[in-house]
Amino acid sequence: MLRIDYLSIGGLPPLSFEVAPGQCLTIEGPSGSGKTRLLRAIADLDPAEGYVFLDGVERSEMSAPLWRRRVRFVSAEPAWWAATARAHFPPAAKLDRLIAALGLEHVNLDRPVAELSTGERQRLALVRALADDPPVLLLDEPTSALAATNAALASEFIKFQILAGRIVILVSHDAVQIERLATARLHLADLEWPRVPESAAA
């Protein structure tokens, strides 16, 4: 269970919600409404007021690297720190099934990452994120750079991850994908600030 308690993202009212294993919360909203910032704050990549619990343990109770090994943020524009894709995966990881499920069997993992297509890199970022089996996935527009068939393949892949019991928070602009994956939806543009009682405001 991932619990967000009064998490403050600039410009938004404090957010509180829960996502259980096997559930997928989708986040929608116009550009600049704070979707990416919300995911980054949950992964503890940016400082943010408030609390985030995973199975009852707050993020500040464990080291940040340990937290991020469990709560995995996948950027909309994944970056690569080494030359080849293979260098980004744990050496002992069994990746065949992940790679096959995303239609990446043809990709040579020992080629320079820069020579792969944008779509291949985006799918490889999903492989990288799942290589060490984190319980929570924070996906920022994971299919934005994919052609229709591959996007559908990736959506099914995410669906499988949800069914397998992972906690997923998904930022997406794709109505079909949201319809297919969401067990709960959050629209950042619709949020209202909590009303202050008139007696207190005066």
Partner 1 sequence: MMSVSLANTDLLWAALLLVLNGAISLALGLRLELNLAMVVLRMVVQVAAIGFILRFVFLQSSPLWTAAVALLMLLVAGYELAARQERRFRLWWTYGLGNATLLFASGLATLYAVTVVIAPSPWYAPRYLLPILGMVLGGTLTSISLVLQTLADGIGRERGAIEARIAQGGTRFEAFAPLLRRAMRTATTPLIHVISMAGMVTLPGMMTGQILAGADPIEAARYQIVLVFILAGAAGLGAFAAAFGGVLIISDRRHRVRLDRLAPFA
* Site map 79..118 versus partner 1, x via CB under 8 A: xxx------x------------------------------
Q: Kindly state whether residue 10 participates in binding partner 1, applying the rule CB under 8 A.
A: no
Residue pair 20/167 in contact (Cβ under 8 Å)? The answer is yes
Say how far apart CA 93 and CA 78 lie, in whole Å: 20
Tokens of 177: 């994908």
Nearer of residues 47 and 194 to partner 1, judged by Cβ: 47
For partner 1, the binding residues in 41-60 under the rule CB under 8 A are: 43-47
Q: Residue ranges of the alpha helices (H) in 13-63?
A: 35-42
Nearer of residues 71 and 178 to partner 1, judged by Cβ: 71
Nearer of residues 68 and 173 to partner 1, judged by Cβ: 68
Strands (E), 124-193: 136-140, 167-171, 184-187
Question: Tokens 């949020």 appear where?
Answer: 191
Taking alpha carbons only, the member of 30, 34, 35, 14 closest to residue 141 is 35
Options 75, 143, 155, 161; binder of partner 1; rule CB under 8 A: 75
Note the residues at the interface with partner 1 (CB under 8 A). 43-47, 63-66, 68-69, 72-75, 77-81, 88, 128-129, 132
